[in-house]
Protein backbone atom coordinates (compact mmCIF):
# COMPACT_ATOMS: atom_id res chain seq x y z
CA UNK A 1 0.00 0.00 0.00
CA UNK A 2 1.35 3.46 -0.85
CA UNK A 3 1.94 6.13 1.81
CA UNK A 4 -0.91 8.16 0.33
CA UNK A 5 -3.32 5.23 0.73
CA UNK A 6 -2.15 4.58 4.30
CA UNK A 7 -2.53 8.24 5.18
CA UNK A 8 -5.99 8.28 3.58
CA UNK A 9 -7.15 5.26 5.58
CA UNK A 10 -5.80 6.79 8.81
CA UNK A 11 -7.69 10.04 8.20
CA UNK A 12 -10.89 8.25 7.20
CA UNK A 13 -10.76 5.98 10.26
CA UNK A 14 -10.46 9.00 12.49
CA UNK A 15 -13.29 10.82 10.70
CA UNK A 16 -15.53 7.74 11.03
CA UNK A 17 -14.65 6.95 14.62
CA UNK A 18 -15.48 10.40 16.03
CA UNK A 19 -19.19 10.45 15.08
CA UNK A 20 -19.60 6.71 15.75
CA UNK A 21 -18.18 7.03 19.27
CA UNK A 22 -20.55 9.88 19.94
CA UNK A 23 -23.58 7.97 18.57
CA UNK A 24 -22.73 4.91 20.67
CA UNK A 25 -22.10 6.97 23.81
CA UNK A 26 -25.39 8.85 23.66
CA UNK A 27 -27.37 5.69 22.78
CA UNK A 28 -25.85 3.81 25.73
CA UNK A 29 -26.60 6.66 28.13
CA UNK A 30 -30.23 6.78 26.92
CA UNK A 31 -30.66 3.01 27.22
CA UNK A 32 -28.97 2.64 30.62
CA UNK A 33 -30.45 5.67 32.36
CA UNK A 34 -33.74 6.29 30.51
CA UNK A 35 -35.80 6.89 33.69
CA UNK A 36 -33.26 9.25 35.23
CA UNK A 37 -32.82 11.56 32.22
CA UNK A 38 -35.04 14.63 31.88
CA UNK A 39 -37.19 14.86 28.73
CA UNK A 40 -35.31 17.95 27.51
CA UNK A 41 -32.00 16.12 27.77
CA UNK A 42 -33.40 13.04 26.01
CA UNK A 43 -34.41 15.27 23.11
CA UNK A 44 -30.98 16.91 23.06
CA UNK A 45 -29.17 13.54 23.01
CA UNK A 46 -31.35 12.20 20.20
CA UNK A 47 -30.66 15.44 18.30
CA UNK A 48 -26.92 14.82 18.61
CA UNK A 49 -27.36 11.22 17.39
CA UNK A 50 -29.22 12.49 14.33
CA UNK A 51 -26.65 15.21 13.60
CA UNK A 52 -23.74 12.78 13.88
CA UNK A 53 -25.54 10.25 11.63
CA UNK A 54 -25.94 12.93 8.96
CA UNK A 55 -22.25 13.74 9.26
CA UNK A 56 -21.46 10.06 8.64
CA UNK A 57 -23.71 9.88 5.59
CA UNK A 58 -22.02 12.88 3.92
CA UNK A 59 -18.63 11.49 4.77
CA UNK A 60 -19.35 8.06 3.29
CA UNK A 61 -20.70 9.63 0.07
CA UNK A 62 -17.49 11.59 -0.36
CA UNK A 63 -15.23 8.68 0.47
CA UNK A 64 -16.98 6.70 -2.26
CA UNK A 65 -16.28 9.51 -4.72
CA UNK A 66 -12.63 9.59 -3.70
CA UNK A 67 -12.15 5.86 -4.10
CA UNK A 68 -13.97 5.92 -7.44
CA UNK A 69 -11.73 8.79 -8.59
CA UNK A 70 -8.65 6.75 -7.69
CA UNK A 71 -9.76 3.42 -9.03
CA UNK A 72 -11.83 4.21 -12.09
CA UNK A 73 -10.19 4.01 -15.43
CA UNK A 74 -10.13 7.26 -17.38
CA UNK A 75 -11.82 7.48 -20.74
CA UNK A 76 -9.77 10.17 -22.46
CA UNK A 77 -11.08 11.69 -25.66
CA UNK A 78 -11.04 14.84 -27.74
CA UNK A 79 -13.13 17.25 -25.66
CA UNK A 80 -14.66 20.64 -26.26
CA UNK A 81 -14.15 22.36 -22.91
CA UNK A 82 -16.53 25.25 -23.72
CA UNK A 83 -19.39 22.87 -24.43
CA UNK A 84 -19.09 21.21 -21.00
CA UNK A 85 -18.91 24.56 -19.23
CA UNK A 86 -22.11 25.68 -21.01
CA UNK A 87 -23.78 22.49 -19.76
CA UNK A 88 -22.54 22.54 -16.14
CA UNK A 89 -22.98 26.19 -15.13
CA UNK A 90 -26.81 26.31 -15.49
CA UNK A 91 -27.10 23.25 -13.22
CA UNK A 92 -25.30 25.06 -10.40
CA UNK A 93 -27.00 28.36 -11.20
CA UNK A 94 -30.23 26.54 -10.41
CA UNK A 95 -29.07 25.78 -6.87
CA UNK A 96 -27.83 29.30 -6.08
CA UNK A 97 -30.60 31.52 -7.32
CA UNK A 98 -29.24 34.66 -5.62
CA UNK A 99 -25.89 34.68 -7.45
CA UNK A 100 -25.02 36.13 -10.87
CA UNK A 101 -23.15 33.99 -13.38
CA UNK A 102 -21.10 35.24 -16.32
CA UNK A 103 -19.56 32.95 -18.92
CA UNK A 104 -16.77 34.30 -21.18
CA UNK A 105 -15.64 31.57 -23.54
CA UNK A 106 -12.99 31.85 -26.24
CA UNK A 107 -14.81 30.75 -29.42
CA UNK A 108 -11.65 29.42 -31.09
CA UNK A 109 -10.43 27.43 -28.08
CA UNK A 110 -8.71 24.24 -29.27
CA UNK A 111 -9.90 20.86 -27.92
CA UNK A 112 -8.26 19.03 -24.99
CA UNK A 113 -7.69 15.34 -24.25
CA UNK A 114 -9.98 14.75 -21.27
CA UNK A 115 -12.34 12.37 -19.55
CA UNK A 116 -15.63 14.25 -19.90
CA UNK A 117 -17.25 12.99 -16.69
CA UNK A 118 -14.19 13.86 -14.66
CA UNK A 119 -13.91 17.29 -16.25
CA UNK A 120 -17.57 17.86 -15.37
CA UNK A 121 -16.85 16.90 -11.77
CA UNK A 122 -13.91 19.34 -11.67
CA UNK A 123 -16.01 22.22 -13.01
CA UNK A 124 -18.91 21.38 -10.69
CA UNK A 125 -16.63 21.45 -7.64
CA UNK A 126 -15.04 24.78 -8.59
CA UNK A 127 -18.25 26.59 -9.57
CA UNK A 128 -20.01 25.17 -6.51
CA UNK A 129 -17.24 26.45 -4.21
CA UNK A 130 -17.21 29.86 -5.92
CA UNK A 131 -20.96 30.10 -5.22
CA UNK A 132 -20.92 28.59 -1.74
CA UNK A 133 -18.08 30.78 -0.45
CA UNK A 134 -19.52 34.07 -1.68
CA UNK A 135 -22.57 35.95 -0.48
CA UNK A 136 -25.87 36.07 -2.36
CA UNK A 137 -25.93 38.68 -5.10
CA UNK A 138 -22.21 38.27 -5.92
CA UNK A 139 -20.92 37.36 -9.36
CA UNK A 140 -19.20 34.13 -10.40
CA UNK A 141 -17.29 34.38 -13.70
CA UNK A 142 -16.24 31.32 -15.69
CA UNK A 143 -13.87 31.95 -18.60
CA UNK A 144 -11.67 30.13 -21.08
CA UNK A 145 -8.63 31.39 -22.98
CA UNK A 146 -5.23 30.27 -24.23
CA UNK A 147 -2.35 31.08 -21.92
CA UNK A 148 1.28 30.00 -22.37
CA UNK A 149 0.23 27.56 -25.08
CA UNK A 150 -2.24 25.78 -22.81
CA UNK A 151 -6.01 25.72 -22.45
CA UNK A 152 -6.78 27.87 -19.46
CA UNK A 153 -10.06 27.79 -17.50
CA UNK A 154 -10.75 30.32 -14.76
CA UNK A 155 -13.44 30.36 -12.10
CA UNK A 156 -13.54 33.75 -10.40
CA UNK A 157 -15.66 34.73 -7.41
CA UNK A 158 -16.27 37.82 -5.27
CA UNK A 159 -16.35 35.77 -2.10
CA UNK A 160 -14.73 35.54 1.33
CA UNK A 161 -11.25 34.83 -0.08
CA UNK A 162 -8.60 32.46 1.26
CA UNK A 163 -6.10 33.69 3.86
CA UNK A 164 -2.39 33.33 3.04
CA UNK A 165 -1.85 31.10 6.09
CA UNK A 166 -4.43 28.65 4.70
CA UNK A 167 -2.84 28.31 1.24
CA UNK A 168 -1.16 24.99 1.97
CA UNK A 169 -4.33 23.48 3.51
CA UNK A 170 -6.69 24.11 0.64
CA UNK A 171 -6.04 20.91 -1.37
CA UNK A 172 -5.71 18.63 1.68
CA UNK A 173 -8.30 15.96 2.45
CA UNK A 174 -11.02 16.94 4.92
CA UNK A 175 -9.75 20.49 5.34
CA UNK A 176 -12.40 23.16 5.68
CA UNK A 177 -11.06 26.63 6.37
CA UNK A 178 -12.38 28.94 9.01
CA UNK A 179 -14.63 31.64 7.62
CA UNK A 180 -18.20 32.63 8.33
CA UNK A 181 -19.52 30.88 5.21
CA UNK A 182 -17.78 27.56 5.93
CA UNK A 183 -19.64 27.27 9.23
CA UNK A 184 -22.97 28.13 7.56
CA UNK A 185 -22.60 25.70 4.65
CA UNK A 186 -22.43 21.92 4.18
CA UNK A 187 -19.17 20.33 3.12
CA UNK A 188 -16.47 17.97 4.20
CA UNK A 189 -13.32 19.30 2.65
CA UNK A 190 -12.93 16.64 -0.01
CA UNK A 191 -13.98 18.64 -3.11
CA UNK A 192 -10.68 20.37 -3.83
CA UNK A 193 -8.68 17.29 -2.92
CA UNK A 194 -10.65 15.27 -5.49
CA UNK A 195 -10.43 18.12 -8.01
CA UNK A 196 -6.63 18.36 -7.83
CA UNK A 197 -6.24 14.58 -8.17
CA UNK A 198 -8.50 14.53 -11.23
CA UNK A 199 -6.82 17.54 -12.90
CA UNK A 200 -3.34 16.10 -12.46
CA UNK A 201 -4.37 12.64 -13.65
CA UNK A 202 -5.39 14.29 -16.93
CA UNK A 203 -2.01 16.06 -17.25
CA UNK A 204 -3.37 19.38 -16.07
CA UNK A 205 -2.42 21.78 -13.32
CA UNK A 206 -4.50 23.74 -10.79
CA UNK A 207 -3.58 26.99 -9.02
CA UNK A 208 -5.39 29.84 -7.31
CA UNK A 209 -4.95 33.45 -6.30
CA UNK A 210 -6.99 35.13 -3.60
CA UNK A 211 -7.46 38.55 -2.05
CA UNK A 212 -10.11 40.45 -0.11
CA UNK A 213 -11.97 40.94 -3.39
CA UNK A 214 -12.34 37.20 -3.96
CA UNK A 215 -10.66 34.12 -5.37
CA UNK A 216 -9.69 32.86 -8.83
CA UNK A 217 -9.10 29.15 -9.42
CA UNK A 218 -7.25 28.44 -12.64
CA UNK A 219 -6.78 25.09 -14.35
CA UNK A 220 -4.67 24.47 -17.42
CA UNK A 221 -4.62 21.49 -19.79
CA UNK A 222 -2.42 20.80 -22.80
CA UNK A 223 -3.96 21.02 -26.27
CA UNK A 224 -5.34 17.84 -27.79
CA UNK A 225 -2.65 16.08 -29.76
CA UNK A 226 -2.95 12.90 -31.89
CA UNK A 227 0.38 11.56 -30.59
CA UNK A 228 -0.80 11.68 -26.95
CA UNK A 229 -3.85 9.64 -27.88
CA UNK A 230 -1.61 6.98 -29.43
CA UNK A 231 0.66 6.95 -26.40
CA UNK A 232 -2.34 6.62 -24.01
CA UNK A 233 -3.79 3.70 -25.94
CA UNK A 234 -0.42 1.93 -25.89
CA UNK A 235 0.13 2.28 -22.16
CA UNK A 236 -3.38 1.48 -20.97
Ligand X SMILES: Nc1ncnc2c1ncn2[C@@H]1O[C@H](COP(=O)(O)OP(=O)(O)O)[C@@H](O)[C@H]1O
Residues within the interface to Mg ion (CB under 5 A): 129, 191
C-beta closer to ligand X: residue 46 or 57 = 57
Interacting partner of 176 out of ligand X, Mg ion, none (Cβ under 5 to 8 A depending on kind): ligand X
Residue nearest Mg ion (C-beta atom): 191
The DSSP 8-state label assigned to residue 137 in this structure reads T
Q: Mask of contacts with ligand X, 46-85, x by CB under 6 A?
A: ----------------------------------------
Q: How many residues bind ligand X (CB under 6 A)?
A: 23
Cα 18 to Cα 7, 11, 22, 49, 55, distances in angstroms = 17, 11, 6, 12, 10
Any contact of residue 19 with ligand X (CB under 6 A)?
no
Cα 178 to Cα 12, 58, 136, 155, 156, distances in angstroms = 21, 19, 19, 21, 20
Judge whether 141 and 115 are in contact, CB under 8 Å.
no
Nearest one of 50, 56, 74, 65 to 236, comparing CA atoms: 74
Give the chain's largest Cα–Cα span: 74
Any contact of residue 15 with ligand X (CB under 6 A)?
no
How far apart CA 234 and CA 193 sit, in angstroms, is 29
Which listed residue (26, 99, 159, 202) binds ligand X by CB under 6 A?
Answer: 159
Which listed residue (52, 82, 121, 129) binds ligand X by CB under 6 A?
Answer: 129
C-beta closer to ligand X: residue 28 or 104 = 104
How far apart CA 178 and CA 29 sit, in angstroms, is 33
Window 166-225: residues binding ligand X (CB under 6 A): 170, 175-177, 179, 182, 187-193, 215
> What residues pair up with 100 in beta bridges, in sequence order?
139
Applying CB under 6 A, which residues contact ligand X?
125, 129-130, 133, 157, 159-162, 170, 175-177, 179, 182, 187-193, 215
Amino acid sequence: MSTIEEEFIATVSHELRTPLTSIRGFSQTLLNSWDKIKDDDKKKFIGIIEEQSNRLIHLVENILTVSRADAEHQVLKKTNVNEIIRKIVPLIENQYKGHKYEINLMPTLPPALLDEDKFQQIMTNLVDNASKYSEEGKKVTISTEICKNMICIKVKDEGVGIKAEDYDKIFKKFSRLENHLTSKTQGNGLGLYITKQLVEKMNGHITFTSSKEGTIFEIVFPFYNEEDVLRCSQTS
